[in-house]
Amino acid sequence: MYSRIAGTGSYLPDRVVTNAEMETMVETTDEWIRSRTGIERRHLASAHESTSQMSAEAARRAMEMAGVTADDIDFVVVGTCTPDILFPNVATMVQDRLGIHDCPAFSLETACSGFVYGLSIADKYIRLGEAKCALVIGAETLSRIVDWTDRTTCVLFGDGAGAVVLKASEEPGILTTILSADGKYGDLLSFPMGPSRGFDALRAGAAGGIQMKGAEVFKVAVNTLSRLVDQTLDKAGVDKSAIDWLVPHQANLRIIQAAAKKLDLPMEQVVVTVQEHGNTSAASIPLALDVAVRDGRIKPGQTLLLETFGGGFTWGSALLKF
Ligand code: UT7
């Protein structure tokens, strides 16, 4: 028994903020943002948009493509570090919005790796016969936790959601996944406030938001992803020449190019959306996947490598037949 992606969907807020608009908000330039990251614009949520609402919209579209209804869904997982509220968790809110009842529903706060972590767990449930049709979602409203006065981070992030329907299948779908993490890097990328540590800094009106030591994160990301690519191919017993598409986490075009080089893959076989979406953390891979499925680039039967890296640090990969 395998699990296989039966449908993809995504949701992006209407509001698009270009680099030119960012220039009016902080001391930056379009040239700096493009050359360092590849980002040209990002979508930002309006007041009526939330992580659960975007998740539900993306899920609805994935379910439509898969031809399944709320009654078919027996597992819901949402990767997000920007839930609407602390609890109920976002996945239960998605259940409620879509009329899904009586199945596991939980969220994962593994930052940019949230979608791949969710995919790996849902795959295990399906392979063990404990679920037949899972919703796996990655969604973020990062604009709500960004420090809009900090030019080193605020230009990088965007909002959005992506989802897949993962169904039990006798044909191979997900071939292997790898999840990993190393907490010793926690301080390099964080949102260092929360219910247990307290929100005092925020209450005191101090600037607060995502904090990142960008150049250090960059180095560890490139090295870790390079190792991860080898580990994934080894584990699956697949040669890199078999990969049709790399669908990477969209943090920085230069990190994506390094991964493509490692695979000897021309950039034409890499799905790149960072220029349009910015870094949407857990949403970035399912968003990119949906874009390339809907524009006809990714076709049934092709072999895809998904890889991600983010706060924690956490990282992970999935090698799959689409
Ligand atoms: O998604 C989770 C994982 N996250 C990542 O993978 C992100 C990894 N890191 C990166 O993508 C890159 O490190 C960044 C894009 C964040 C930064 O690029 P960089 O080439 O590493 O730049 P830097 O941080 O070393 O900064 C270079 C210079 C600094 O000025 P000085 O000290 O050299 O005078 C910064 O102050 O660029 C300056 N700078 C800016 N200038 C204009 C930083 N942010 C900006 C900005 N506009 N927005």
pLDDT category of residue 205 using cuts at 50, 70 and 90: low
Q: Is residue 315's pLDDT more than 80? A: yes
Q: Does the C-beta of 151 come closer than 6 Å to ligand 1? A: yes
Ligand 1 centroid to Cα of residue 28, in Å, is 11
Q: Is residue 20's pLDDT more than 70? A: yes
Ligand 1 centroid to Cα of residue 219, in Å, is 12
pLDDT in tens, 141-157: 999 999 999 999 999 99
What residues form DSSP beta bridges with 159?
A: 141
SS (H, E, C) the chain: CEEEEEEEEEECCCCEEEHHHHHCCCCCCHHHHHHHHCCCEEECCCCCCCHHHHHHHHHHHHHHHHCCCHHHCCEEEEECCCCCCCCCCHHHHHHHHHCCCCCCEEEECCHHHHHHHHHHHHHHHHHCCCCCEEEEEEEEEHHHCCCCCCHHHHCCECEEEEEEEEEEECCCCEEEEEEEECHHHHHHEECCCECCCECHHHHCCCCCCCEECHHHHHHHHHHHHHHHHHHHHHHHCCCHHHCCEEEECCCCHHHHHHHHHHCCCCHHHECCCHHHHCECHHHHHHHHHHHHHHCCCCCCCCEEEEEEEECCCEEEEEEEEC
- The protein residue with its alpha carbon nearest to ligand 1, atom 19, reads 215
Task: Quote the distance between the C-alpha of residue 167 and its chain's center.
Answer: 20
Q: Does the C-beta of 252 come closer than 6 Å to ligand 1? A: yes
| Per-residue pLDDT, 197 | 84
Q: Does the C-beta of 190 come closer than 6 Å to ligand 1? A: no
Q: How many CA atoms lie within 13 A of 58 on its CB side?
A: 38
- The protein residue with its alpha carbon nearest to ligand 1, atom 48, reads 151
| Per-residue pLDDT, 195 | 87
Interatomic CA distance for residues 79 and 147, integer angstroms: 22
Ligand 1 centroid to Cα of residue 157, in Å, is 13
**Mean pLDDT across the chain:** 96
Q: Does the C-beta of 287 come closer than 6 Å to ligand 1? A: no
Ligand 1, closest atom to CA 212?
16
pLDDT in tens, 106-123: 999 999 999 999 999 999
Based on C-alpha coordinates, what's the Rg of the chain? 18
Mean pLDDT along residues 148-173: 97
pTM of the model: 0.97
| Per-residue pLDDT, 322 | 98
pLDDT category of residue 204 using cuts at 50, 70 and 90: low
| Per-residue pLDDT, 256 | 98
What residues form DSSP beta bridges with 43?
A: 16
Q: Is residue 278's pLDDT more than 70? A: yes
Interatomic CA distance for residues 235 and 233, integer angstroms: 6
Mean pLDDT along residues 174-189: 98
Ligand 1, closest atom to CA 22?
48
pLDDT in tens, 66-108: 999 999 999 999 999 999 999 999 999 999 999 999 999 999 9
pLDDT in tens, 26-40: 999 999 999 999 999
Mean pLDDT along residues 228-238: 97
